[in-house]
Structure 1
Amino acid sequence: MERTWRWFGKNDKITLDMLRQIGVEGIVTALHDVPNGEVWTREKIKDLKDYIESYGMRWSVVESLPVCESIKYAGPDRDQLIENYKESLKNLSLEGIHTICYNFMPVLDWARTDLDHKNPNGTTNLYFSHAEFAYFDICILKRKDAEKSWSEDILKEVERLKETMTPEDDHKLVENIIVKTQGFVSGNIKEDDEHPVELFRQLLDLYKGISKEQLRENMKYFLEAIMPVCDEYDMYMCVHPDDPPFQILGLPRIVTCDEDIQWFLKAVDNPHNGLTFCAGSLSAGAHNDVQELARKYASRTWFVHMRSCHIFKDGNFTEASHLGGRADLIELARIFEKEEEGRADNPNIARLPMRVDHGMTMLGDAERGYNAGYSFLGRMFAMGQVQGIIATVDRELGKPFHQPGFWEE
């Protein structure tokens, strides 16, 4: 697999010079300065592509070309936004970029309640608490009938939290759930917005009456509309699983499990309609057998996120070591390295891009202003672990392992 890294553009505190020194081959990025829904021009794409290539790497994956909320809930401007999307896909292809990671999650991208949860070794990681998320839902967001979404045990924990949570705690929860994890990803909420909770309520209101079935149909409509362009220009769309992989805030989530993946692949049965296999998102759901899903859907996987989650007895979960947790990354490397062997005939997908994800915060990462979940040293540590896994698996399979930046035998 091609070792890639999510990079947030020329203003990212993690520079391309740093990345080429740690064995990164490909860059996963986007035109973060282009507002959602606008066309990505060839000029802007080429400028960033040339900049990446000047450091000896390639722009391997777009993560992401955002699917606007209006496409997801079928707003009146949906068709025009899809036309813009198709034009951006064409322009990316003409500049030699063929893999697009996107998501179809309404309003909220990945969700966590604690961005600095202490690990036993003194590092920190992302963490999801059902009780704290329910407290946010019921007491801060004040979503109508929110209590009906939660079990009696969780509601009892919410009552206990009401006695201890301070205004500062409430503010931090808002920051963690709808500001720090969303502003640099989806653009729906920005860090300088004065009333993020109210803006968030307005976004939720857009999905009133949208069922899981309706959201599925909206996804199918979008995919069917763009597939002719994908066929003509050989563009590989790979949807990211919902994170976490279960329903939240009364919103439908439609990429959470085996049945969901099977549905969207069959609904638009085209090889250009595929999956981003995020082992972390999938392993956060106790209902998912991650290794079995990898075996089943490897042939329709165009991008891999190598990370793993640990689920506690109470259902809360955290990012695990890249050598631990519910996702067996060693076995996943075997599955995807074998799958990659059959793709040599198509240069656009001959290498299967892989990136490590959501690394620990460690050794001063916290003071360097990195985006939440995207530390440098923590991800570099994870990359080293995964590089070792891939090198071992390649030797098992008799495949050469290339480490850029070193003298070759």
Structure 2
Amino acid sequence: MEKTWRWFGKNDKITLPMLKQIGVEGIVTALHEVPNGEIWTREKIKDLREYIESYGMRWSVVESLPVCESIKYAGEDRDELIAKYKISLKNLSLEGIHTVCYNFMPVLDWARTDLEHENENGTSNLYFSHSQFAYFDCYILKRENAEKDYSAEIMEEVEKMKVQMTAEENHKLVDTIIVKTQGFVNGNIKENDEHPVELFRQLLNLYKGVTKNQLRENLRYFLSEIMPVCDEFDMNMCVHPDDPPFSILGLPRIVTCDDDINWFLNAVDNPHNGLTFCAGSLSAGAHNNVVDLARKYASRTWFVHMRSCKVFNNGDFTEASHLGGRADLIELARIFEKQNPKLPMRVDHGPTMLGDENRGYNAGYSFLGRMFAMGQVQGILATVDRELNIN
């Protein structure tokens, strides 16, 4: 697989010369400065592409060309936004970029409750606690009837937290769930927003009454509209699984499991409608057999995120070692190398280690931790390629 790296543009503290030194072949990035819903001009795309190529790498995958909330909940301006999206797809193709990773998750791009969960060896990882998330939902966000979405065991933990949590801890939880994980990925809420919880409530209100079936139909509509452009310009659209792969905040989630993946691939049965196989997101759900999903959907996978999660008995999960967890990255490497050894792959959500935490990197996107993970995955790929006799 092509060894790629998610890079956040010219202002990223991790520079392209650094990535060239560690063997990165392809860059996964976006025009982060362009507001959501606006056209990506050919000039801006070309400028960034040529900058990447000047360091001997290529712009392999767009992650992401954001799908606006209005497209997801079918707002009045949906068709106007889709028309702009089509122009951006055409412009990307004309500049030689043919793979777009996107998501159809309402409001939240991804969710964690702890960005620096300490491991026994002194490193830290991202972590999701059901009870902490429920506390945020019930007592900070104060979503109506939120408690009905959680088990009695979780609510018992929440009531204990209600007594113990300080104002500082509440602020940190808000910052973790709806600011730090969102603001650097064309998110709806930015680091400098003064009232993030109120803004978040407003976003949730946009989805009142939107069911899972309605959200599915909105995805079908979006894909049906853009597929003619994808066919004409050879653009591979690969949806990212929901992270985590279950319903949160009363919002429907539609890319969480085998049934969901099967539905959207068949709803618009076109080879350009494909999957970003994020082994980490899928392995965060105990209901998913990640290896079986890889075997089943390898032929419709256009991009791979190599990471793995460990799920605890209560459903909480943490990022695991790239040699451990539920995903079995060794077997995934065999599956995807057999299917398409040129498939772009990036390691994802590496541990924070050896001072990464002091360098201002985006949450989940450490340098040394991801470099360590890439070394592990490179070793896996070298072994698998020898086993399969792939040069």
Separation of aligned partners in 2, 1:238 and 1:187 = 19
| Partners of 2:30 and 2:64 within 8 A in 1 | yes
1:61-84 Cα deviation digits (max 9, x unpaired): 000000000000000000000000
Q: Secondary structure in 1 aligned to 2:91?
A: helix
Q: Which residue of 1 aligns with 2:251?
A: 251
CA distance in 2, matches of 1:117, 1:60: 32
Q: Is structure 2 residue 313 aligned with structure 1 residue 313? A: yes
- Which residue in 2 is equivalent to 1:41? 41
Matched letter for residue 352 of structure 1: L
Deviations 1:222-279 (A, max 9, x none): 0000000000000000000000000000000000000000000000000000000000
* 1:49-198 correspondence runs (5 A): 49-198=49-198
- What is the distance in 1 between the residues matched to 2:84 and 2:269? 23
State the Cα deviation string for residues 343-371 of structure 1 (Å, max 9, x = none): xxxxxxxx200000000000000000000
Query: Match of 1:370, as an amino acid?
Result: Y
TM-score, normalized by length of structure 2? 1.00
Equivalents in 1 of 2:179, 2:187: separation in Å?
10
- Is the Cα–Cα contact under 8 Å of residues 69 and 106 in structure 2 kept in the other structure? yes
| Residues 1:364 and 2:360 aligned together | no
Alpha-carbon contact 1:362-1:377 (below 8 Å) kept: yes
Pick from 370, 390, 399 the counterpart of residue 381 of structure 2: 390
Count of residue pairs brought into register by the alignment: 391
For 1:209 and 1:141, locate their aligned partners in 2 and report how far apart those are by CA, in whole Å.
19
Contact preservation (8 Å) 2:32, 2:186: no
Quick one: distance in 2 between partners of 1:65 and 1:257? Answer: 23
CA offset at residue 315 of structure 1? Answer: 1.2
1:20 counterpart SS class? helix
Tell me how far apart the structure 2 counterparts of residues 339 and 65 of structure 1 sit (CA, whole Å): 26
Shift of 1:158: 0.3
Structure 1 CA distance, aligned partners of 2:315 and 2:59? 37
Answer whether contact 2:67 2:104 (CA < 8 A) is retained. Answer: yes
CA contact (8 A) 1:99 1:236 kept: yes
- Once the two structures are superposed, the pairs formed by residues 332-347 of structure 1 within 5 Å of their partners are 332-340=332-340
1:4 corresponds to: 4
**1:109, 1:186 within 8 Å by CA — same for their partners in 2?**
no
Paired position in structure 2 for 1:204: 204
Partner of 1:378: 369
Match for 2:355: what amino acid?
G
Aligned to 1:403: none
One-letter code aligned to 1:274:
G
Identity %: 81
Partner of 1:348: none
Distance 1:391 1:84 in 2: 42
Q: Secondary structure at the match of 1:59?
A: strand
Report the Cα offset of residue 163 of structure 1: 1.4
Q: In the aligned structure 1, how far is the partner of 2:151 from the partner of 2:132?
A: 13
* Residues 278 and 306, structure 2, Cα contact 8 Å, conserved in 1: yes
Residues of 2 paired with 1:46 and 1:393: CA distance? Answer: 36
Aligned residue in 2 for 1:298: 298
User: Is the contact made by 2:278 and 2:307 (CA closer than 8 Å) also made in structure 1?
Assistant: yes
With normalisation by structure 1, the TM-score equals 0.95
User: Residue 231 of structure 2 aligns to which amino acid in structure 1?
Assistant: D
Question: Structure 1 counterpart of 2:27, which letter?
Answer: I
Measured in 2, the distance between the counterparts of 1:73 and 1:215 equals 7
What displacement does 1:116 show? 0.2
Contact 2:109/2:187 (<8 A) preserved: no
Distance 1:332 1:113 in 2: 28
- For structure 1, the residue ranges without an aligned partner over 5 or more in a row are 342-350, 401-409
Q: Which consecutive segments of 4 or more residues in structure 1 shift more than 4 A?
A: none
The CA deviation at 1:187 is 2.3
The amino acid across from 2:33 in the alignment is D
The answer to whether structure 1 residue 354 and structure 2 residue 348 are counterparts is no
Query: Which amino acid in structure 2 is aligned with residue 225 of structure 1?
Result: E
Q: Does 1:331 align with 2:322?
A: no
Q: CA deviation at 1:186?
A: 3.3
Post-superposition shift, 1:313? 1.6
Q: Secondary structure at 2:164's aligned position in 1?
A: coil
Question: Which residue identity lines up with residue 30 of structure 1 in the other structure?
Answer: A
Alignment root-mean-square deviation, CA = 0.5
Does the 8 A contact of 2:35 with 2:186 survive in 1? no
SS at match of 2:13: coil
Secondary structure of the residue that 1:184 maps to in structure 2? coil
1:288 aligns with 2:279: no
- Secondary structure of the 1:163 match is helix
Q: State the Cα distance separating 1:312 from its structure 2 match.
A: 1.1
Using the alignment, how far apart are the partners of 1:138 and 1:314 within structure 2?
A: 19
- Contact 2:349-2:364 within 8 A present in 1 as well: yes
Query: Partner letter of residue 212 of structure 1?
Result: K
Residue identity in the other structure for 1:273:
N
| Aligned residues of 1:110 and 1:244 also touching (Cα < 8 A) | yes
Contact kept in structure 2, 1:245 and 1:284, CA below 8 Å: yes
One-letter code of the match for 1:366? E
Equivalent position of 1:229 in the other structure: 229
For 2:162 and 2:252, locate their aligned partners in 1 and report how far apart those are by CA, in whole Å: 27
